[in-house]
Structure 1
Amino acid sequence: MAMLVAALTAAIIRRRFGGALVMIAALVLGAGLAGTAAWRLFAAEHHPLATLPAGSYVNAEVKLKDDPKALPKSNFGGARVTVPAELRWFRAAGKVFSGGGSVAVFAPADGWSQLLPGQRVELRGVIAPGTQGALTIAAIRVNGPPVRAQPAPAIQRWAAALRHRLGDAAGQALSPEAAGLLPAMVVGDTTHLSPELTALFRTVGLSHLCVVSGANVTIIIGAVLLCARGLAIHPWIGIVCAAVALAMFVVVARPSPSVLRAAVMGGIGLVGLASGRRKHAVPALCTAIILLLAVNPGLAVDYGFALSVIATFGLVLLAPSWADWLIARGASRAVAEAVAVAGAAFVVTLPVLVALSGSVSTVSVAANLLVGIVVAPITVIGAVVAVLASVWFPAAVLVAKLAAPMLWWLLQVAHRGADVPGAAISVPQGLLSSVLAVAAVLAVIVGLRLRPVRRGVAAALVGAMLVAIPLWTVRTGWHTLAADRIAELSVGRATIDTVSDGSAQLHLVLGEEEFLAERAVAAVVAAVRAGSSAPDDLPVTRLRAGDASASELAELLSPSLFAEDRVVVLEAAAEAGKDAVALIESAAASPPDGVVLVVLHTGGGRAKALAGSLQKLGAQVHDCAKISKASERVDFVRAEFRAAGVRVSVDVVQAVLEAVGSDLRELAAACSQLAADTGGKVDVASVHRYYSGKAEVSGFDVAELAVVGDHSAALEALRWAQLRGVPPVLLADALADSVHTIARVGSAGRGDPFRLASRLGMPPWKVKKAQAQMSGWTPDSIGQAMQVVAELNADVKGVAADADYAVERAVRGVVGLHGRHKR
């Protein structure tokens, strides 16, 4: 309250006493905010939970503050989520401590992904190492479902049902990409967005459309006020309706700090633009920032908050004057305002984006201009669909179809923009890059005020377009041989530069991606054979440098009497000893005549410095860094198809990844086979025809097909699961879980899945799925199925001689008991 009084006092005394007292009030206010933040930081650092060493086991009760968010997929441990929570109490070393504080929970997706904000959850986990944020007292890693979960508040269950029905309506009315995009644009629900589409939007600078922001609030409130004015409703009633719409939107989009911030700033922006009094928008915005920081000091170190504040200031301070400047030079008001808004938002947020992501989208302004006309209609249609879906679902599906052309346009802009050469430029992250970005922005703004500079920039842009557009249009058939070869080996961030220089005697294969390293070595050997007089007799010697003795290396790297061509491949160089490293560096400094030395190094290990030494000696580096990001696998698949002379859509790339998995060797083989077997005409249907049902088949996939009576699909999925090494015990547990779930839900009767979920202690999605699977089951048949899975449980634990056959027999038995058995 003292800070609020100081802010109001400063505003009042400004006119009477001038700027001196205003400055004093601002300093007092800043000191108060800094003091509050410092106190909370001190409390977080000295919280009893924060003082526990990493690895300590705790039991705790937390209150979830947001929806669980999926973490990037890992090769180990399955899907996981993270969720911020408020600590209620915890028990460690036999003592119970009570008190609040923010914690970050990392848990398996199974059992956690469907929890809702506001739920109180009891968990058992271990304190994870590392810091999670300035005001987060600890991170807790959980390896199982919650010990106990209380029902979510009624308002959150209603919001979850509304979001779920919005997703269902979009799924029935739109294509998969568009169906995932509509909920993201309306309420920030990104659960249906693929990682590839998310990466695509980030590349072209459209990722802000999938996050709830002030623009969403402005569009919703503006649409309500416009309808009220069109219906000649009294202004006060219109304001009340707008307030109700805003409250409903905040609840549905989740009242997290980011959404509340968007609501406050969106309302301020709407007031400033609607009243036409821009000079009042800045004080109002400053007041909102002060209030938000006073309530939640953690926002001061939140990148999302910084971007929101900076973007709003840019729209309020820069966009109007830029629009006026363009209008004065002959541009129409609509075009001028669109360009000014997109340009101002890009310019003011560029330093923060550079510091945060280390990437700059060169097509961001153009992409936002092209999609700007459809953003508001999509948001309004999505809001109408969300409301209708809760009262009249068929009408909601019909309305959702109205957004299809606009979503198609938005997706086309994203796909085409990402294909532009240099659509995203990587720059170093950190404060220095941010400062340089600020300097560059200021230099451009000042320079463009000079007519010669403007003309020069315009000429450069026209010239760049004249070169870039033809290249973009015909690049699939206009590569030189060298460009084709480089594209063949391009794998996102790892571009293996292997080929054209067959005369190089020293090669460094740097990175942990085994498949890329093998490909790099094969390319070097092929290049040497191409220049050899006796390619069939070329000796290739492979030796693990980490296991070899110094004498073995000395003999291998010594000059030959006849100086014949040979290739020496030293593997595991990162683990080489001191003497071996010295020999390798000596041979690399002056390679024997006719010897091509290839050193495989992971970049780490005890001989980490060897990689740097070889680079200084002029080694040709083949970057084989580990590919772990989804966007990098997308780039790899695209490059594989491009190397085969085939151009494919993003849908095809996604279908290949979903069908084949993440193994690069299998992905490369699949791309090659598809290109050869389809004559270069690869589409989604051909991918499904060749690879349907192959990747990541789990026991739950088999069980879901069995309980709906799909005989052939269940057995096919079972074969894939067994080939991929899924243990029979897990297959049996999944089948038993599905049968028991149908039995429990069936005995509870029909009803609202959210209410039944609370009564049965199940996630709502699981209840809804079981309700759909109950068709075709009777009490007698479900009883027999439970007997089948009970016998299977004993069989896979040692009773049966062949556990795999026992699982297959049980799957056939469950399918046979289903009323709609398909043969």
Structure 2
Amino acid sequence: MPDLRAIALGAGAWTGALLVLLLPGAVALGATCGLVVLVVAGVRRRRWSAGWLAPLAALVAVAGVAALHQVLVTTSPLAGLAEERAVATVRLEVTSDVRVVIGRFGDLQVLRADVTRLEGRGTVWRLTAPVVVMADAGWPRQQLGTTLETTARLAPGEDDVAALVRPTGAPRVVSPPDVWWDAAAAVRRAVREAVSGRDEDARELVPALVVGDDGGLDAGLADDFRTTGLTHLLAVSGTNLTLVVGFLLVLARWAGVRGPWLYAIGVVGIVGFVLTARTEPSVVRAAAMGAVALVGMGRNGRSRGVRGLGVAVLALLLFRPQLAVTAGFALSVLATAGILLLAPVWRDALMRWTPRWVAEAVSVPLAAQVACTPVVAALSGQVSLVAVGANLLAAPAVAPATVLGLAGGLLGLLWGPVGVVVAAPAAWSAGWIIAVARWGASVPTAAVDWGTGPMSLVVLTALCLLSVPLAPRLLGRPGPALACTGVLVVVMLVRPPTPGWPPAGWVMAMCDVGQGDGLVLRAGSRSAVVVDAGPDPAAMDACLDRLEVTHVPLVVLTHFHADHVGGLAGVVDGREVGVLEATGLLEPAGGVRDVEAAAGRAPEPASHGLTRRVGEVTLQALWPRPGAAAGDPGESAPNNASVVLLAEVAGTRILLTGDVEPSAQAALARDVAGLRVDVLKVPHHGSRHQDLDWLASLGSRLALVSVGADNDYGHPAPDLLAALSAVGAQVWRTDLSGDVVVVVADGEVGVATGG
């Protein structure tokens, strides 16, 4: 029987953090005091045992640390200057690697740092405050561990940071990274170099498995990993540390190391792993969970592992209370708890009729998946059906890919050719994992949509809890276990029909892809023209699947912002794709690279004024006109370079406007004066920056807004919606209706939603 006191200790610590982080200050204080009084009174009256005092102490301690951290961040002089959006001189210690993200007006470098010196408004402060730095692409790239000074404009930060720092000047390096950061960077480079000659996906996956370095991984492949429940392999996780440090301990035992020295080598291995993978909170969390897993592998492992889990949760939340509200922390803790608490019971049940190695191979991923399913569904809105099978198939390749990848990197530091030879099996193993992920994602029903509403998640959680007592009964007998497995296989391999979808007579679909555009024009049976692909490959792929589209003779990308091109891999995956066209303005550069990587080729420029027929679709590119003025300098140049298309399908005229802003709309009003359409795709997700006179003049019966729920841009603007409704247009939005499909029946244009 596991020690429930240890579980209560971790639960108490987690509760303390959540009280402070999710509730207003006064409410959190009152709730904490109320719990203290309740528990102490219960213990004094002997209604509860004194064992409740330890979880209570953990709750109070973590709540106090979380409250103190909030006070220090919100009352620091840095936060005060950020509220005033002041320009100051800051000394920064870089605490993370640089990530390049696609911003609205170009690529940005994003990194985390600690401000240790602040000079602004005639005052100098010495402090330690966490910040996020957002610099332009041309700002000199900074390495982890560097200390520098720069002038910057400050802005209010979010979450647990005191400010957002936007550099306005060139940085001055105060001190370079310490030797251990240089050593860690050398190991990361060596791992990459050891597999640099391998297949593109394999050479990106091996560094991800070894040290979580997944920056170059193909977006489509990453989506396949999410669908198949293999995402934990791409990030630094407890599994990585368990394999690396476990291998190190095995080598030490072979070398005759015993007793305290073995523990010392384990500690050195953990510290080295954390330095190499970066000392970010997610890495520290993964290291703690990996250490718990190592403890769980030893003698009396289940009991010691559960105690270690409770202590690890307490220690992590004392170190960084904000972990309590992160998905990674929840998934790590739940997966570890499932493996420690559920897997042994389910393994013993399976061992009644299967060999031990089969029982362990099935029970471990099954227990982890069941424990994590409610959180995964809350994040993705889906429940993976292939996760257990995919993890089972991938598991034999994870250890050699991780261990030999690291060994190849370390040996490559001494002599490159030896590292390449040793890392070769790691690349082969990574190739097998990639094949499993792609196979799993291609299964007709790899995942089922579940939803993220409260009732959906409550029902799913109840089902997972119900599986705890039922699973041993099912797994303990071959008949029920094999019957359940057979039903699951049939469900995965046979795609369930969606009654009435796609609707008869559909001519256009605006896919629910979140905050972005993903538009589909019916070109024939199972054939469609795709205009933009949204930000998420999975969402775009699922929409095309629902529409039963297998052939895409033409893809047009209106411009290269991520919310229009990020999902291109979902269009390409498993479909025959013909011509790829895009705007002639190749900005932002990151979006262009993503398109070329997803499609395997560069797009052709869309030809202005050309009218052509693609299946049942007639298309004409109205914009951008060659030689057109750059537009208002206060507007986005990529937005105003959007390809604007006039389409006709089954006699219905449709205007697709990309993200063109008022100056480009005004130019269109002059170029195509008197244009009238049946359906308008509203520009820029319903932004308030519109030429309302032009939009109203189009006479559209339907106005479609592709927009993400709860977006922080204020889209769609109420004034815009009111103006469209005032001229008789019916407004349909993806954030409210899901997929919006335009249907023509008996010459009338209507709408069907859902799918």
Take 1:341 and 1:453, find their aligned partners in 2: how far apart are those partners? 15
Deviation at residue 387 of structure 1 after TM alignment: 1.6
Matched, 1:177 2:206: no
Matched letter for residue 117 of structure 1: L
Matches within 5 A, 1:140-159: 140-142=165-167, 145-159=170-184
Match of 2:366, SS state, is helix
Structure 1 vs Structure 2: percent identity of aligned residues?
Answer: 30
Matched, 1:488 2:528: yes
Superposed CA deviations along residues 65-94 of structure 1, whole A, max 9, x for unmatched, are 2222232x346323x232221111222333
Matches within 5 A, 1:188-203: 188-203=212-227
Q: Is the 8 A contact 1:354 1:433 kept in 2?
A: no
Which of 57, 61, 86 aligns to 2:114? It is 86
Name the CA shift for 1:276/1:132 in 2 (closer, same or farther; >3 Å). Answer: same
- With the length of structure 2 as denominator, give the TM-score of the two structures: 0.63
What 5-or-longer segments of structure 2 have no aligned partner? 1-5, 13-42, 497-503, 507-521, 550-560, 566-580, 583-605, 620-647, 667-673, 708-715, 743-755
Match of 1:103, SS state, is strand
Matched letter for residue 30 of structure 1: L
Which of 86, 105, 108 aligns to 1:76? It is 105
Deviation at residue 486 of structure 1 after TM alignment: 4.6
Match of 1:50, SS state, is helix
Which residue is equivalent to 1:371?
394
Structure having the higher helix fraction is: 1
Take 1:489 and 1:456, find their aligned partners in 2: how far apart are those partners? 47
Take 1:487 and 1:22, find their aligned partners in 2: how far apart are those partners? 66
Which residue is equivalent to 2:462?
439
Which residue is equivalent to 1:289?
313
Take 1:452 and 1:305, find their aligned partners in 2: how far apart are those partners? 29
Take 1:459 and 1:465, find their aligned partners in 2: how far apart are those partners? 10
Q: Is the 8 A contact 2:342 2:468 kept in 1?
A: no
Q: Is the 8 A contact 1:498 1:524 kept in 2?
A: no
Name the CA shift for 1:279/1:358 in 2 (closer, same or farther; >3 Å). Answer: same
Name the CA shift for 1:570/1:117 in 2 (closer, same or farther; >3 Å). Answer: closer
Larger radius of gyration: 1
Structure having the higher strand fraction is: 2
Deviation at residue 397 of structure 1 after TM alignment: 0.9
Which of 411, 424, 433 aligns to 1:401? It is 424
Q: Is the 8 A contact 2:209 2:235 kept in 1?
A: yes
Q: Is the 8 A contact 2:87 2:154 kept in 1?
A: yes
Which of 423, 429, 439 aligns to 1:416? It is 439
Name the CA shift for 1:581/1:255 in 2 (closer, same or farther; >3 Å). Answer: closer
Take 1:345 and 1:285, find their aligned partners in 2: how far apart are those partners? 15
Deviation at residue 220 of structure 1 after TM alignment: 2.2
Match of 1:140, SS state, is strand
Match of 2:346, SS state, is helix
Matched, 1:165 2:165: no
Take 2:450 and 2:87, find their aligned partners in 1: how far apart are those partners? 41
Name the CA shift for 1:441/1:569 in 2 (closer, same or farther; >3 Å). Answer: closer
Superposed CA deviations along residues 615-638 of structure 1, whole A, max 9, x for unmatched, are 59x9997569xxxxxxxxxxxxxx
Match of 2:128, SS state, is coil
Which residue is equivalent to 1:346?
369
Matched letter for residue 322 of structure 1: W
Q: Is the 8 A contact 1:68 1:112 kept in 2?
A: no
Deviation at residue 289 of structure 1 after TM alignment: 1.9
Q: Is the 8 A contact 1:354 1:430 kept in 2?
A: no
Deviation at residue 410 of structure 1 after TM alignment: 0.9
Take 1:184 and 1:543, find their aligned partners in 2: how far apart are those partners? 39
Q: Is the 8 A contact 1:54 1:126 kept in 2?
A: no
Take 1:92 and 1:451, find their aligned partners in 2: how far apart are those partners? 67
Q: Is the 8 A contact 2:349 2:475 kept in 1?
A: no
Which residue is equivalent to 2:251?
227
Matched letter for residue 180 of structure 1: E
- With the length of structure 1 as denominator, give the TM-score of the two structures: 0.58
Matched letter for residue 395 of structure 1: V
Matched, 1:65 2:95: yes
Take 1:167 and 1:64, find their aligned partners in 2: how far apart are those partners? 23
Matched, 1:138 2:163: yes
Name the CA shift for 1:208/1:537 in 2 (closer, same or farther; >3 Å). Answer: closer
Superposed CA deviations along residues 533-561 of structure 1, whole A, max 9, x for unmatched, are xx9997969899x999xxxxxxx99xxxx
Take 1:148 and 1:249, find their aligned partners in 2: how far apart are those partners? 27
Name the CA shift for 1:325/1:412 in 2 (closer, same or farther; >3 Å). Answer: same
Superposed CA deviations along residues 555-577 of structure 1, whole A, max 9, x for unmatched, are x99xxxxxxxx974557596697
Q: Is the 8 A contact 1:204 1:418 kept in 2?
A: yes
Take 2:192 and 2:133, find their aligned partners in 1: how far apart are those partners? 26
Match of 1:252, SS state, is helix
Match of 1:191, SS state, is coil
Match of 1:304, SS state, is helix
Deviation at residue 429 of structure 1 after TM alignment: 3.9
Q: Is the 8 A contact 1:498 1:622 kept in 2?
A: no
Match of 2:77, SS state, is coil
Q: Is the 8 A contact 1:108 1:145 kept in 2?
A: no
Which residue is equivalent to 2:62?
33
Match of 1:100, SS state, is strand
Take 1:536 and 1:489, find their aligned partners in 2: how far apart are those partners? 11
Matched letter for residue 120 of structure 1: T
Deviation at residue 440 of structure 1 after TM alignment: 2.7
Matched letter for residue 77 of structure 2: P
Take 1:158 and 1:230, find their aligned partners in 2: how far apart are those partners? 26
Name the CA shift for 1:421/1:57 in 2 (closer, same or farther; >3 Å). Answer: farther
Superposed CA deviations along residues 597-617 of structure 1, whole A, max 9, x for unmatched, are 55455662423266895559x
Name the CA shift for 1:18/1:245 in 2 (closer, same or farther; >3 Å). Answer: farther
Matched, 1:122 2:149: yes
Q: Is the 8 A contact 1:165 1:390 kept in 2?
A: yes
Which of 61, 65, 86 aligns to 1:56? It is 86
Take 1:67 and 1:373, find their aligned partners in 2: how far apart are those partners? 31
Name the CA shift for 1:137/1:46 in 2 (closer, same or farther; >3 Å). Answer: same
Superposed CA deviations along residues 713-767 of structure 1, whole A, max 9, x for unmatched, are xxxxxxxxxxxxxxxxxxxxxxxxxxxxxxxxxxxxxxxxxxxxxxxxxxxxxxx
Matched, 1:100 2:128: yes
Take 2:388 and 2:464, find their aligned partners in 1: how far apart are those partners? 14
Which residue is equivalent to 2:267?
243
Take 1:460 and 1:373, find their aligned partners in 2: how far apart are those partners? 24
Matched letter for residue 377 of structure 2: V
Q: Is the 8 A contact 2:146 2:177 kept in 1?
A: yes
Which residue is equivalent to 2:405?
382
Name the CA shift for 1:248/1:320 in 2 (closer, same or farther; >3 Å). Answer: same
Q: Is the 8 A contact 2:293 2:305 kept in 1?
A: yes
RMSD between aligned residues = 4.9
Deviation at residue 46 of structure 1 after TM alignment: 1.9
Name the CA shift for 1:187/1:18 in 2 (closer, same or farther; >3 Å). Answer: farther
Take 1:222 and 1:424, find their aligned partners in 2: how far apart are those partners? 33
Superposed CA deviations along residues 480-501 of structure 1, whole A, max 9, x for unmatched, are 999974563565535489999x
Take 1:580 and 1:163, find their aligned partners in 2: how far apart are those partners? 53
Matches within 5 A, 1:206-355: 206-328=230-352, 330-355=353-378
Match of 1:86, SS state, is strand
Match of 1:99, SS state, is strand
Matched letter for residue 327 of structure 1: M
Match of 2:131, SS state, is strand
Q: Is the 8 A contact 1:60 1:90 kept in 2?
A: yes
Superposed CA deviations along residues 438-474 of structure 1, whole A, max 9, x for unmatched, are 12312344555666999789657535634754779xx
Deviation at residue 583 of structure 1 after TM alignment: 12
Q: Is the 8 A contact 2:317 2:323 kept in 1?
A: yes
Name the CA shift for 1:41/1:486 in 2 (closer, same or farther; >3 Å). Answer: farther
Matched letter for residue 426 of structure 2: A
Matched letter for residue 373 of structure 1: P
Q: Is the 8 A contact 2:681 2:704 kept in 1?
A: yes
Matched letter for residue 87 of structure 1: V
Matched, 1:45 2:74: yes
Take 1:365 and 1:608, find their aligned partners in 2: how far apart are those partners? 46
